[in-house]
Amino acid sequence: MHQFQPGRLLRLLMVLCLSLAIAMRPAEAQSILRDAETEAFFKEIATPLIAAAGLDPQNVDIILIGDPEINAFVAGGQVVYINSGLITAADNANQVQGVIAHELGHIAGGHAIRMDEGAKPATGITLLSLLLGAAAMAAGGGEAGMGIIAAGQQAAMGKFLAFSRNQEASADAAGVSYLRKAGISGQGMLTFFGKLRKEEYRLSSSYEDTDPYAQTHPMSADREATLEADLKASPAWNAKTDPAVEARFQRVKAKLMGFVQDPDVTLREYPPSDRSIPATYARAYAYHRAAYPEKANAEADALVAAAPHDPYFLELKGQILLEGGKPREAIPALREAVARSNNQPLISALLGHALISTEDPSYFEEARKVLRIAVERDNQNPDAWYQLGIIYDREGDHARASLATAERYNLIGQPQLALGPAEMAEQSLPKGSPDWLRAQDIAMVSKTAVQEKKKRK
């Protein structure tokens, strides 16, 4: 006989409800990888697809996540998140475009906003089963009550998964239409599904026994079969990717592999005998990560020799020198990189860092100007705010140094650390000025976040 314990049952119900909520929540980013060249490439290949989806390219962001899983997702707003593992697994730019087209289907379809449409019926089933199970347990039928709860949770999850699969199928169809409208071949979308199918085989010990109704996505083989005819019927099926675009993809993929992979793995895939631009790029990052500055410098020099005014090669050269403890030597390369990239904010922030790291006051005015431009054009870079805070502090502008510190902590999600500097800046800055208003905003948001955190505890 099972004794009915209200406290124990309550804890069980909370765990079950929480497990369903977690299953319905989209994956959260582990870390965002910022790179000027990669972001420019994403913008280039995504812009025609974004326009085909009826969205404004200025309002849609493609963000790279440091995660080895082959995945991409949307989680609200007009943002497509792409895992680094997907880029390193892709064979060509067209495959990445196929993925982006699919994710834009989620955005245009408002799928993240409509998540409640799938969650509400599932939650209703869960709550009903919890009530019935609790009643059975209260009456002494402990095993029967647990069985009711388990069956209810399974039914609720099945209901939600069916909703999720329908959304995925809708996004697939939308992606096909965007590729057609943009005049981009769907071969990449189809071949990438083939790659995912092989991954499903690899990860499953018994692929044939996998229950397709227990998945969040339709099975890749089914998606291929469903979309193949429509993709091949497009006038753009045989359209070729611009060779210059494909070359840029191979560069981006190689540098990413050099950055995220173990250096030994990168050097096996891009041996020193391979003198191509992508291979040289990958080795430069691999050697830099492995703390071989001479070898990293030699690879960077080879890149600059091949294209003396390429801003991204110059950026890499400057980064290696700066992070190798030679900030003064890094400045010329970074100055040219900034000029050649039209003041690209990430590169500008790196130049500001180098100028400050010299500890030479004669560079401080240039550093302040460069960093101000960087944060005005991209205020989502915590490192730029950190460097700007340093320069303000050294110039004696402690109010704006506090504001820059508050901006940085606000961006990295630490409201408890942002609150103090924001309040200090608010007290010291001219009342009603733009900086004062910004300090006030950060203080209000941070205070609310801190109070909510205390309530949860």
Q: Name the residues annotated as catalytic.
A: 103
Could you write out the DSSP letters of every residue in 96-132? Answer: HHHHHHHHHHHHHTTTTTTHHHHHHHHHHHHHHHHHH
Residue 271 near residue 293, CB atoms below 8 Å: no
CA-CA distance, 343 to 345, in Å (whole number)?
Answer: 6
406: its two tokens = 């508050």
Angle at 132 between CA 130 and CA 136, to 5 degrees: 115
Closest C-alpha among 302, 294, 366, 298 to residue 334: 366
| Pairs from 4-10 (Cβ < 8 Å, separation ≥ 24) | 4/137, 4/138, 4/140, 4/142, 9/134, 9/137
CA-CA distance, 318 to 302, in Å (whole number)?
Answer: 14
Q: At a CB cut-off of 8 Å and minimum separation 6, what does 407 contact? A: 375, 379, 382, 385, 418, 438, 442
Which amino acid, residue 284? A
CA-CA distance, 293 to 273, in Å (whole number)?
Answer: 19
